[in-house]
Amino acid sequence: MCGRTGDDDTARLLDGIGGTIFTAGDNSNEEGTPAQYRDCFNLSWGRHKARIRPAPGNHDYYTSGGSGYYGYFGETAGPAGKGYYSYNLGAWHIVVLNTNCKDVGGCQAGSTMEKWLRADLAANPAQCTLAYWHHPRFSSGPLHGNDPAMQPLWQALYDSEADVVLNGHDHHYERFAPQTPSGQSDPAKGIRQFIVGTGGASLRAPEQARANSEVRNGSTFGVLKLTLHASSYDWQFIPVAGGAFTDTGSGTCH
């Protein structure tokens, strides 16, 4: 990232971790210009571009229409102007959404993207489903916090018994216990959400914990490694060199 070193440190972690890489938006955290993608992102995480499956963030749309983002990632980012898509990874179905809602016709129930999401989930009834996007439905972050506009997307995923949601936007790491779209604890059918806003931009300490928040850290850059099994998953937060915080665990699919 231009003028910062956190992204260089996390990119070095990726050098030693195989597999598919997700991004949860704000890939170029300034304005998402073509020059910033070329001169900043490309020199750190960009060396892993061939295995990145990105999601766009609000900073990516500081450049009109997200043209820097779509120009850099090309077809990998899904249809330009939409930016939502899905793919399969082993036994898992993976959904990527674009929660810059005003730029995709809204995120509400009945919107084009929400209807696409429900149709995609119905067409791909995998035992294990994971979704990622930028703006978190739940967050203990001091700047953004909970975003109720994401509830219809959570509802569609919950109705299809999805398992995991990954988000960014707030600049910290946080793990929530499985919960419903309205934030009620639900160990049997709830979705487990992670916030992984620790890729390189300046970190912010979480404030008072939201309901169902299990782990929070706002002082350590790092990446979240997920190991996806046929009917379960393991997680591990890996800190950059010199970082002490980590988080590990496992869960089973619905």
CA 54-60-64 angle, to 5 degrees, is 130
pLDDT, tens digit, 9 for 90 and up, residues 57-87: 999 999 999 999 999 999 999 998 899 999 9
Q: Does position 25 have pLDDT exceeding 60, yes or no? A: yes
Alpha helices in 32-132 (DSSP H): 34-39, 67-73, 112-123
CB atoms within 10 A of CB 8: 15
DSSP-derived pairing of the beta strands 164-167 and 128-132: parallel
Identify the burial level of 189 via C-beta atoms within 10 angstroms of its C-beta, where 0-12 means exposed, 13-18 middle and 19 or more buried: middle
CATH of the domain spanning 6-252 = 3.60.21.10
Domain ranges of the chain: 6-252
pLDDT, tens digit, 9 for 90 and up, residues 1-15: 566 788 999 999 999
Q: Which long-range contacts (CB under 8 A, 24 or more apart) does 232-239 make?
A: 232/128, 233/128, 233/130, 233/163, 233/164, 235/175, 235/194, 237/173, 237/196, 237/198, 238/13, 238/17
Q: Residues for the chain: how many in total?
A: 254
For residues 83-103, give the mean pLDDT: 97
Give 204 or 46, the one with higher predicted confidence: 46
Give 181 or 6, the one with higher predicted confidence: 181
Q: How far apart are CA 72 and CA 94, in angstroms?
A: 22
Q: How far apart are CA 25 and CA 191, in angstroms?
A: 20
- Give the single-character DSSP code of 102: G
Question: Is the whole model's pTM more than 0.85, yes or no?
Answer: yes
- Confidence (pLDDT) at 95: 98
DSSP-derived pairing of the beta strands 232-239 and 213-217: unpaired
- Confidence (pLDDT) at 20: 98
Residue 177 token pair: 């216990």
Are the C-beta atoms of 215 and 172 separated by less than 8 Å? no
